[in-house]
A and B are shown apart, each in its own frame.
Chain A
């Protein structure tokens, strides 16, 4: 039964990471830009949830979504647009700089803020309670995370496959110059993708804040780093493979964490590297192995792998 518990928790974490992965993958698709500052969009949305603490939850979430969308559009206008066509290293370091900037502005003004659990207006906080089914203890937020993930992916699939802007986004991701020649407006497509990624950042922020009400200037940072790794492991060239990669790294981290923990939790065991403190190393070794075997990504279409290796 404990393995079932671990599986459900792992799916919950995987769902949150998959949401973040979609946000990163969408922007990469149209801009070829790895947005390291995505975590700070999550941070901004999380701070908004804290500032609107006394408000009804719906209003609070709406404000968070709006703030994340505005922030991501500003980011696009101020930094990404002038850097279109720059080398990947330049674009990546520019997003480092943005991340660093926002993180330190937040540190300057707010430092740590806690969203209190059990706030009268906050039905959100109650989602952190666990429901017991047999021997399983599952927090409501895990169900919410999985449900939200499924709804978000369904909505996104509809948008990408059934609307004109979705078709344009897919065309731009496949071959931007040709798409432009055929009348796709570059700025419209890019801004739509960036705006959607902002919405997803806010959704992820809501789930993360419910799970951990302590909001600081590093909220969203670690999640983004892990998801970036996952996205590349899955295959960043396609949104589906990137999303699966994000899900997989969340799932693997959570599940391996559980399995390692049952092996013993101190670093003084006979063979030290089976202790749970070495979980990141185990995950990273798996990451390296996957990348060596399939450099274009675990879920990339066949035939792309060889081109990336020398």
Chain B
């Protein structure tokens, strides 16, 4: 049994995503389908964010820049050739005259996300605390600014359109599950454990011979790769995208999802993204009017945003360390043993 303790920790989050996909794909209308697939892609983005923020304990506002790089590279490179010269005339010839398939665009998004995160991470991973938060925010600001004005690499301030909408339920679910599995494998690996040790006590971890900078850089790069990949899924879901869609709002929303779920655990990341997304969809639909056991409820338009904010605030006030409290999903048996071990440690 003991060897399989990790199994629920991996299968729990995956089951949650698969369940979400299975139920919503069966019952959702065509209009809601996009929203639910968006929820699944949100899980991927939040888990990518968790890989760095959750394991390192360092706050980053920069991960959405890797989502943006992934989204725009995948988007620009999959627009059909015959219309590309018309909509994006200023592109570098290499980008303008080539188009790649959906699968390769996801690979490209992953690679560029990783590369960008690695290059940015080399200097930035020396920082901790608020300085790290603001420096990563600066990266987001630069990414947004350059993407919005440099028309040689993208659409600039206009909307990028004509992107093939290939992110169906299958791709979204498989993608999110892959991101979860990689995040899980990483946090149980030697590198992941070293990084989590630096999160708990940087001084002790350094004394034990852990290179904090290197471990943070690994996690930042992996998080960048997964963010880029999630960005690729995102752009193929939306089909049209502007730079402001991968800027402040998405940054705050994904961070809020992570903190509401519980920043310290993979399960928290998945649960937070799922709960906040479902709540948003529910309230959005309630603005149009929904039936709840015979009652017809119709909220004034715009109230869904207010509702989401209220619920987030209440969750944080009631459970400041998130819904999961930063714990992984455990079966009863293993929890009891953990308690026993804990009390033995306490007695010793």
Chain A positions near chain B (C-beta within 8 angstroms) = 34, 79, 82-83, 86-90, 92-94, 96-98, 100-101, 104-105, 107-108, 225, 228-229, 232-233, 236, 267, 272, 275, 277-278, 280-281, 284-285, 287-288, 291-292, 295-296, 308-310
Residues of A within 8 A of B250 (CB): none
Q: How far is the CA of A281 from the CA of B149 in the complex (A)?
A: 11
Chain B hits for A228, CB < 8 A: 134
Name B's interface SS.
Answer: helix
In the complex the two chains form, is B316's CB within 8 Å of A97's CB? yes
Chain B residues with CB under 8 A of A310? 125-126, 128, 202, 206, 212-213, 216
* B128 in contact with A89 (CB, 8 Å): no
Choose from B142, B300, B310 the contact partner of A284 (Cβ within 8 Å): B142
Q: Which residues of A contact B320 (CB under 8 A)?
A: 83, 86-87, 90
Contact with A along B191-223 (1 / 0, CB 8 A): 000000000001000100000110010000000
Residue from B130, B152, B306 within 8 A of A236 (CB atoms):
B130
Q: How far is the CB of A17 from chain B (nearest CB, A)?
A: 15
Is there contact, CB below 8 Å, between A96 and B252?
yes
Sort A-B residue pairs by CB-CB distance and give the 3 closest, nearest first: A101-B309, A284-B138, A104-B305
Chain B interface residue count, CB cutoff 8 Å, equals 53
The answer for the CA separation of A89 and B326 in the assembled complex, in Å, is: 13
Which of A87, A97, A236, A267 has a CB less than 8 Å from the CB of B149? Answer: A267
A contact residues around B144 at 8 Å (CB): 280
10 other A-B residue contacts (CB within 8 Å) besides A107-B305, A310-B126: A34-B130, A93-B256, A93-B316, A96-B256, A101-B306, A108-B300, A108-B306, A292-B123, A292-B124, A295-B126
**B338 → A minimal CB distance (Å):** 22
Once A90-B320, A100-B305 are accepted as A-B contacts, the answer to whether A291 and B256 lie under 8 Å apart by CB is no
Q: A107 near B302 (CB under 8 angstroms)?
A: yes
Closest to B322 in A: A90
Give Cα A175–Cα B157 distance, bound, in whole angstroms. 48
Question: Is B279 located at the chain interface by the 8 A CB criterion?
Answer: no
Of the A-B pairs whose beta carbons lie under 8 Å apart in the complex, a sample of 15, sorted by A's number, is: A86-B321, A87-B263, A93-B260, A94-B313, A97-B312, A98-B309, A267-B150, A272-B150, A280-B142, A284-B145, A287-B135, A308-B129, A309-B127, A309-B128, A310-B212
Which residue of the partner chain B has the closest CB to A287? B138
Report how far A266 CA is from B308 CA in the complex, Å. 40
Contact present for B202 and A79 (CB under 8 Å): no
CA A281 – CA B144 in complex, angstroms?
Answer: 9
Kindly state the separation between the CA atoms of A284 and B141 in the bound complex, as whole angstroms: 7
Instruction: Tell whether, in the assembled complex, residue A288 and residue B135 are in contact, meaning their CB atoms are under 8 Å apart.
Output: yes
Chain A residue numbers with a CB within 8 Å of B259 are 89-90, 93
Which residues of chain B come closer than 8 Å to A34, judged between CB atoms?
130
Q: Is the CB of B142 within 8 A of A281?
A: yes
* Minimum C-beta distance from A171 to chain B (A): 22
Write the chain A residue with the least CB distance to B313: A97
Q: How far is the CA of A205 from the CA of B321 in the complex (A)?
A: 34
Residue in chain A with minimal CB distance to B256: A93
Answer yes or no: B131 CB below 8 A from chain A CBs. yes
Q: Which chain B positions have C-beta within 8 A of A291?
A: 127, 131, 134-135, 138
B229 to chain A, nearest CB (A): 24
B59 pairs with A88, CB closer than 8 A: yes
A29 to B202, CA, bound (A): 24
Within 298-348 of B, Cβ neighbours of A (below 8 Å) are at 300, 302-303, 305-306, 308-310, 312-313, 316-317, 320-321
Q: Is the CB of A229 within 8 A of B303?
A: no
Known: A92-B59, A285-B142, A291-B134. A104 touches B317 (CB 8 A): no
**In the docked arrangement, what's the CA distance between A209 and B152, Å?**
38
Contacts of B302 in A (CB 8 A): 104, 107-108
Closest chain B CB from A58 CB (angstroms): 34
Q: Is the CB of B131 within 8 A of A100?
A: no
Known A82-B317, A284-B142; judge A104-B306 contact (CB<8 A). Answer: yes
B36 located at the interface, meaning its Cβ lies under 8 Å from any Cβ of chain A in the complex: no
Contact (A288, B126) CB under 8 Å given A89-B59, A296-B131: no
Q: Is the CB of A94 within 8 A of B306?
A: no
Is B151 in contact with chain A by the CB < 8 A criterion? yes
Q: List the A side residues contacting B312 at CB < 8 Å.
A: 93, 97, 100
Is B255's beta carbon under 8 Å from chain A? yes
In the assembled complex, how far is the CB of residue A209 from the closest CB belonging to chain B, in whole angstroms? 23
Residue of B nearest to A92 (CB): B59
Query: Which listed residue (B59, B129, B146, B213) contacts A281, Cβ 8 A?
Result: B146
Cα A93 to Cα B262 in complex, Å, equals: 12
| Given contact pairs A87-B320, A96-B252, A267-B149, A280 touches B129 in the complex (Cβ within 8 A) | no
Decide if B137 is an interface residue (CB 8 Å cutoff).
Answer: yes
List chain A residues, Cβ under 8 A from B213: 310
Docked complex Cα distance between A236 and B134 (Å): 12
Complex interface: chain A residues within 8 A of B202 (CB) = 310
Distance between Cα atoms of A233 and B255 in the complex (Å) = 22
Q: How far is the CA of A309 from the CA of B135 in the complex (A)?
A: 13
A297 CB, nearest partner CB in chain B, Å: 8
CB contact list, B229-278 vs A, under 8 A: 248, 252, 255-256, 259-260, 263
Which residues of B are found within 8 Å of A275, using beta-carbon distances?
Answer: 149
Of listed B123, B126, B138, B302, residue having the most chain A CB within 10 A: B138
The reply to whether the CB of B67 lies closer than 8 angstroms to some CB of chain A is no
Q: Name the contact of A97 in the complex, choosing from B142, B256, B303 (C-beta under 8 A).
A: B256
Q: Which residues of A contact B53 (CB under 8 A)?
A: 89
* Interface status of B43 (Cβ within 8 A of chain A): no
- A295 and B313 contacting across the interface, CB-CB below 8 Å: no
Instruction: Give which listed residue, A93, A101, A292, contacts B135 with CB less than 8 A.
Output: A292
Closest residue on chain A to residue B146 by CB atoms: A281
Report yes or no: B142 in contact with A89, Cβ–Cβ below 8 A: no
How far in angstroms is the closest Cβ of chain A from B177? 26
Q: Which residues of chain B have C-beta atoms less than 8 A from A79's C-beta?
A: 313, 317
- Residue of A225, A278, A281, A308 touching B131 (CB-CB under 8 A): A308
| Shortest distance from the beta carbon of B100 to any chain A beta carbon, whole Å | 26
